[in-house]
Amino acid sequence: MAGPEQGPADGVLGEVSARRPRWLIVALGLVVLFFLVRFLVAEPVRTSGDSMSPTLHDGDALVIQKVSYWFSDPAIGEIVVATAPDTRESVVKRVVAVGGDSIGIEDGVLVRNGVAVDEPYANHHEMDGYFWGPVEVPEGHVFLLGDNRLESHDSRNYGPVPVDAIDGKYLTRLWPL
């Protein structure tokens, strides 16, 4: 006795069900890729407050890049997102000193290792008469300051930040354009 006959509908149904698992695998792969990029490579963040003004403003949408600090330490001048040791909140600040540096503020001017630092993004005139430090930054740590020194809660308040508390480096601003 011969086997059951297949009609045209059986063949089409078989092809559709064979395509569906491939489509699901591709979709699942894209979702996994998205989450890997989002949590391991780059991440969108939003600034809160004006501590980085005039460089960044309250509510700016940024992209931080996470991979570079797997291979190197943060460098002076880079804007980073880190976890503040005192509040455990994410903060956006500028690296102004690294391990082994002495850092302070003299009459509103940042002084690193005894030398005044040129910072065109900071308003020194608002800080006339302000003195702080100096302190030594331990190895494996960075010293973070906001560009708007009068409005910034930063390493002057919570001390040097361990390099492993840095989540990523500022890559670009998404919004406003």
Which two structure tokens, joined as six digits, stand for 9?
């509908």
The whole-angstrom separation of Cα 91 and Cα 69 is: 17
Q: What are the helix (H) ranges across 5-154?
A: 8-36, 68-71
Which two structure tokens, joined as six digits, stand for 71?
């291979």
Best CA proximity match to 175, nearest among 38, 66, 45, 80: 45
Annotation marks residue 102 as catalytic:
no
Annotation marks residue 66 as catalytic:
no
CA angle, corner 58, sides to 53 and 59, nearest 5? Answer: 140
What residue type is assigned to position 65 of the chain?
A: Q
Tell me which of 51, 53, 152, 155 is the catalytic residue. Answer: 51
What are residue 37's phi and psi, to 5 degrees?
A: -65, -45
* DSSP tag of 124: S
Tell me which of 48, 66, 90, 93 is the catalytic residue. Answer: 93
Q: Which residues are catalytic?
A: 51, 93
